[in-house]
Chains A and B, each alone.
Chain A
Amino acid sequence: SSELTQDPAVSVALGQTVRVTCQGDSLRRYYASWYQQKPGQAPLLVIYGKNSRPSGIADRFSGSSSGDTASLTITEAQAEDEADYYCNSWDSSGYRLFGGGTKLTVL
């Protein structure tokens, strides 16, 4: 199906590692891109492709993929990483897909 599924909420202790996942059939063929969105701000690209970070994105952000699941991993999570995270890909018809978003809380 042409959908991307994310857990609605995830929490992590300060300084620990957290994985945010995204599941969908399209991810068997295409890589996911990941976006961080803080309240009142536009989404910000943090990971794309196999595991690429745009300039300026901290190296504690990394991406991986296995089968129909893509993952965003944040190593040594910081307070400023608390945000909503969205995955994105596209389907065989060329329609772009977004996951429903995961609210990350840093405890």
Chain B
Amino acid sequence: QVQLQESGPGLVKPSQTLSLTCTVSDGSFTRGTYYWSWIRQPAGKGLEWIGHISSSGSTNYHPSLKSRVIISADASKNQFSLKLSSVTAADTAVYYCAREYMSEMLRLNYFDPWGQGTLVTVSS
């Protein structure tokens, strides 16, 4: 059963860049059927999709974050990463990585599994 694990600093200063890595436990990272996603959740609030990278390397980002986000991947390490620049207190949240399956033909998508999440606080 594939597992995902987030890692990275739990505290980032305002205006700096938040950097997180997600390690995927099995070889599904290189299979073409999945998207590798970042999702965040501020305390007491709902889920917000940040963006994803496909197994082929194409990316897509939430329109409100597009100017500050880069998602990249290192297939040799079974890892994908998130960089969010110019952070403010509004970026304080639990950040999750998740594997997404999506099929236009079947008209469905789903995120499974998810990492346990990592809290990132933006504060000086």
Residues of A within 8 A of B (CB): 29-31, 33, 35, 42-45, 48-50, 54, 86, 88-90, 93-101
Interface residues of B, CB < 8 Å — how many? 25
**Is the CB of B115 closer than 8 A to any CB of chain A?**
yes
Within 8 A of A (CB), among B50-88: 52, 60, 62-63
For the complex, would chain B's binding face be called helix, strand, loop or mixed by DSSP majority? strand
Structural contact, B52 and A96, CB atoms closer than 8 A: yes
Within 8 A of A (CB), among B25-63: 37, 39, 46-49, 52, 60, 62-63
A54 to B39, CA, bound (A): 20
Structural contact, A48 and B108, CB atoms closer than 8 A: yes
Structural contact, B46 and A90, CB atoms closer than 8 A: no
Contact with A along B89-124 (1 / 0, CB 8 A): 000000010001010001111111111110000000
A42 to B99, CA, bound (A): 13
Structural contact, A98 and B112, CB atoms closer than 8 A: no
A95 to B113, CA, bound (A): 19
- Quick one: given A42-B117, A45-B112, A95-B62, are A86 and B47 in contact (CB under 8 Å)? yes
- Quick one: given A42-B96, A86-B46, are A94 and B109 in contact (CB under 8 Å)? no
Structural contact, B109 and A89, CB atoms closer than 8 A: yes
Chain B residues, CB < 8 A from A86: 46-47
The closest CB in chain B to the CB of A48 belongs to B110
